[in-house]
Structure 1
Amino acid sequence: MNLLFKCVALLGLVLSISDFTLSTQAITKTNNIPPILKQCHKDDPNLNECLRRAIESMRANLSQGIPELMIPPCEPLKIPEIRITQNAGAIRMDSEYSNVIIYGLSNFTLRDIHVDPVTKRAICNLWFPLLKMTSNYLIQGKILLMPLMGNGTASSNFTDIDATLTMTMNGSGAAHSNGGKIGDIKVEFNIGGASVHLDNLFGGDPQLGSMMNKFINDNWREITAEIRPALGESIESILYGIANQLNEMYGLEKLLDA
């Protein structure tokens, strides 16, 4: 059952990431479950509370990272590159972000967790008061019919982030399947507030750059609504890949029988 809360903990690390390359190193399966994973038994009448305590016990380790769970240091979390391609709706653009640094991922509140041992379905709600991100960027396209292009540095703040992770462990999902071991992972999130600043827009034109930054910040809710589906799918794909790696290493069936 531990894999359920491992994926919940990992959600925080990818909430603001649209493309994160997983390690391709060879994975050696082992029967030794890491000591950091506090056991929660599926027959425990207080299973949800046990999982809550287990997640909270991992919080102090997130800053330095948890190598045995493939979680990198996350205060701050450093990502070499992120790529976003949006070709539907009112936003059509290609963008690349390098030297990405994210602050605040370990400062989450676990609002709720519910696990059904029979259906092997877990639902978890996390809340982040503030996430900060800085990076270099390269972007070209249109946003709400406005042309957008630039190459420089970017900084952004996101506040009041509510994220819900739903994970099915029975392999019945249509999108993902690996022999009946892992089902679907679904991520939904809402952002309460956002501020973004992009330097050197339109070749450094100060007037156009100022106007575009104001336009983005005035319309951040509409922009978020447009990119949410694509971002959610990317996060789900990342979590699914991590779950598969953990399954290869520790054996999902053993964890579910704990």
Structure 2
Amino acid sequence: MKLLVSAIVLLSAQAFGGYVFPEDFQTCGRDDPNLDECILNAIRDAWPKLAEGISSPIVLKTEPVTFPFYEYHPDNDALWFNDYSQNIEHTGFNNSQILNASVDLATLSLNFTTFSPHVVQTSDYMAGGSVWYNKTGPGDRIWGRGKAVKEIYNTTILHQIRSVKYEKNEESYLRVDSYEVSISFDFVTLDYQNLFNGSQPEIAKTAGDFINASATYIATDQKPYIEDFLGKMFIVYAKKLIGCVPIDTLIH
């Protein structure tokens, strides 16, 4: 049986080249007594191949992993900030380790866990708000527009994918119905470049240093929104990969 390799490796896909999907990936049998172990090995087998790339039946580049737009609104005792980001790119997922995996063929669901030592997000941002240096009072106003670099270290992500079967052109296909993630990380750095649009460099440095020093706290406070963002980003790739071929190509 060709297993749901497309779903298994949707996050792991990186810079694309000449691999054919899914024939040259390791596959598993429905009656395999060690099915979860086989799936884990299949993911690990696919990871470096996808780092080199696939070109069939679709061409899809996921290193960097991208997303067009998202917004964050931190509101805590360190920072109140409206962050609107676009042209978002992530590098570093290609260096992830796959820790475990499990599948339920009856419900077409897949869970797997990745560990990424260092993920870098770059984007174009426009933001404004207040920093709370003393955690009291109205805070000091802050704004800016430019490049933002957010780095996450030692990130563990549990990926939970749910699919449904549907008919198209007299063949059965899979459609990803949901993609949920749970994330944990050690620490985060934040670099909002061009704060105050370059007009107040000394104040911008003070504010930027404070935001970066508070980055892990800010990110932890924003974790539900980060998870929502990652799920919305990953599901785009999942739908493209899983929906590009009939289910008989994926599962035999």
TM superposition score normalised by structure 1: 0.72
The Cα shift of 1:129 comes to 0.8
CA distance in 2, matches of 1:200, 1:33: 43
Q: Does 1:46 align with 2:34?
A: yes
- Relative to structure 1, the CA distance from residue 40 to residue 9 in structure 2 (aligned partners, 3 Å threshold; closer, same or farther) is same
CA distance in 1, matches of 2:149, 2:174: 42
Q: Does 1:35 align with 2:23?
A: yes
**What is the aligned partner in structure 2 of residue 93 from structure 1?**
82
**What is the aligned partner in structure 2 of residue 27 from structure 1?**
none
Query: Is the contact made by 1:124 and 1:164 (CA closer than 8 Å) also made in structure 2?
Result: yes
Task: Tell which structure's C-alpha radius of gyration is larger.
Answer: 2
The Cα shift of 1:72 comes to 0.8
Counterpart of 2:197 (choices 197, 203, 212) is 203
**What is the aligned partner in structure 2 of residue 21 from structure 1?**
none
Counterpart of 2:159 (choices 158, 162, 165) is 165
Query: Is the contact made by 1:103 and 1:133 (CA closer than 8 Å) also made in structure 2?
Result: yes
- Segments of 5+ residues of structure 1 without an aligned counterpart are 15-31, 172-178
**What is the aligned partner in structure 1 of residue 92 from structure 2?**
104
What secondary structure does 1:40 align onto?
coil
**What is the aligned partner in structure 2 of residue 72 from structure 1?**
61
Which amino acid is the alignment partner of residue 42 of structure 1? R
The Cα shift of 1:73 comes to 5.4
The Cα shift of 1:3 comes to 6.7
Query: Is the contact made by 1:63 and 1:73 (CA closer than 8 Å) also made in structure 2?
Result: no
Which amino acid is the alignment partner of residue 110 of structure 2? A
CA distance in 1, matches of 2:189, 2:8: 26
Q: Does 1:123 align with 2:111?
A: yes
Deviations 1:28-82 (A, max 9, x none): xxxx9632333222221121222222212222233343233654152xx275x74
Which amino acid is the alignment partner of residue 43 of structure 1? D
- Relative to structure 1, the CA distance from residue 9 to residue 181 in structure 2 (aligned partners, 3 Å threshold; closer, same or farther) is closer
Query: Is the contact made by 2:6 and 2:241 (CA closer than 8 Å) also made in structure 1?
Result: no
**What is the aligned partner in structure 2 of residue 193 from structure 1?**
187
The Cα shift of 1:190 comes to 1.3
Query: Is the contact made by 1:166 and 1:187 (CA closer than 8 Å) also made in structure 2?
Result: yes
Counterpart of 1:235 (choices 209, 222, 230) is 230
Structure with the largest fraction of strand: 2
- Relative to structure 1, the CA distance from residue 6 to residue 223 in structure 2 (aligned partners, 3 Å threshold; closer, same or farther) is farther
Identity of aligned residues (%): 21
**What is the aligned partner in structure 2 of residue 154 from structure 1?**
148
What secondary structure does 2:9 align onto?
helix
What secondary structure does 1:148 align onto?
strand
**What is the aligned partner in structure 1 of residue 127 from structure 2?**
139
Deviations 1:233-254 (A, max 9, x none): 2332333343333343212365
- Segments of 5+ residues of structure 2 without an aligned counterpart are 15-19, 133-138, 166-172
Deviations 1:146-197 (A, max 9, x none): 64311233334321001001122357xxxxxxx9954432111112112222
**What is the aligned partner in structure 2 of residue 23 from structure 1?**
none
CA distance in 2, matches of 1:234, 1:156: 14
- Relative to structure 1, the CA distance from residue 208 to residue 140 in structure 2 (aligned partners, 3 Å threshold; closer, same or farther) is same
Q: How many residue pairs get matched? A: 229
Query: Is the contact made by 2:12 and 2:50 (CA closer than 8 Å) also made in structure 1?
Result: no
CA distance in 1, matches of 2:206, 2:193: 12
- Relative to structure 1, the CA distance from residue 241 to residue 82 in structure 2 (aligned partners, 3 Å threshold; closer, same or farther) is closer
CA distance in 1, matches of 2:248, 2:75: 41
**What is the aligned partner in structure 1 of residue 11 from structure 2?**
11
CA distance in 2, matches of 1:143, 1:10: 38
CA distance in 2, matches of 1:88, 1:252: 42
Counterpart of 2:245 (choices 240, 243, 250) is 250
RMSD: 3.3
